[in-house]
């Protein structure tokens, strides 16, 4: 699917979700709550790294749909840098692994990333309301101690 097609599809999905006719399963894996973080040295600064994967899964117009987003957030003092990636993996690929997902990446511009973020916000609103439209699962991503 081309990025323009994905953008249009996400806009339609968001509308159908608001209308109450589309149900989702969200699986999130994040390092945000971890006490130990990865760090990297760049630009003569030490950056603390958080990672977050989100799998957006639903049955849309009779077909299974899965979009996985990945966000890397690097923090050094008050500076924050983020990188966002989007993937449309085949149905058998559900691993939260960049190495596995990279062949299924979608070229994501700011508009597409923003649309995914708007979908995230809508689904989080529904989770807060305990809506049966969204099945929500969150797990802590492990940090390999040897990498710290």
What is the three-state SS of 87-142?
ECCCCCCCCCCHHHHHHHEECCCHHHHHHHHHHHHHHHHHHHCCCCCEEEEEEECC
Percent of the chain with pLDDT over 70: 95
Q: What angle do CA 114, 38, 121 make, to 5 degrees?
A: 25
The predicted-structure confidence for 14-55, as pLDDT tens digits, reads as follows 999 999 999 999 999 998 888 888 888 988 999 999 999 999
pLDDT the model gives residue 12: 97
Determine the Cα–Cα distance for residues 72 and 85; give it in Å rounded to an integer: 9
What kind and span of H or E run contains 146?
A: none
pLDDT the model gives residue 74: 93
Q: Of 31-40, 62-71, 104-113, 120-129, where does mean pLDDT reach its minimum?
A: 31-40
């Amino acid at each position: 699917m081309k990025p323009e097609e994905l953008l249009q599809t996400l806009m339609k999905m968001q509308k159908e979700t608001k209308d109450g006719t589309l149900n989702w399963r969200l699986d999130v894996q994040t390092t945000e709550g971890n006490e130990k973080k990865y760090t990297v040295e760049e630009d003569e600064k030490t950056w603390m790294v958080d990672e977050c994967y989100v799998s957006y899964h639903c049955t849309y117009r009779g077909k299974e749909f899965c979009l996985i987003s990945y966000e890397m957030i690097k923090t050094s003092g008050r500076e924050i840098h983020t990188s966002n990636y989007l993937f449309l993996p085949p149905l058998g690929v559900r691993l939260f692994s960049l190495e596995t997902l990279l062949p299924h990446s979608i070229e994501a511009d700011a508009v597409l990333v923003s649309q995914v973020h708007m979908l995230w916000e809508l689904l989080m609103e529904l989770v807060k309301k305990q809506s049966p439209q969204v099945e929500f699962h969150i797990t802590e991503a492990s940090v390999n101690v040897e990498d710290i």
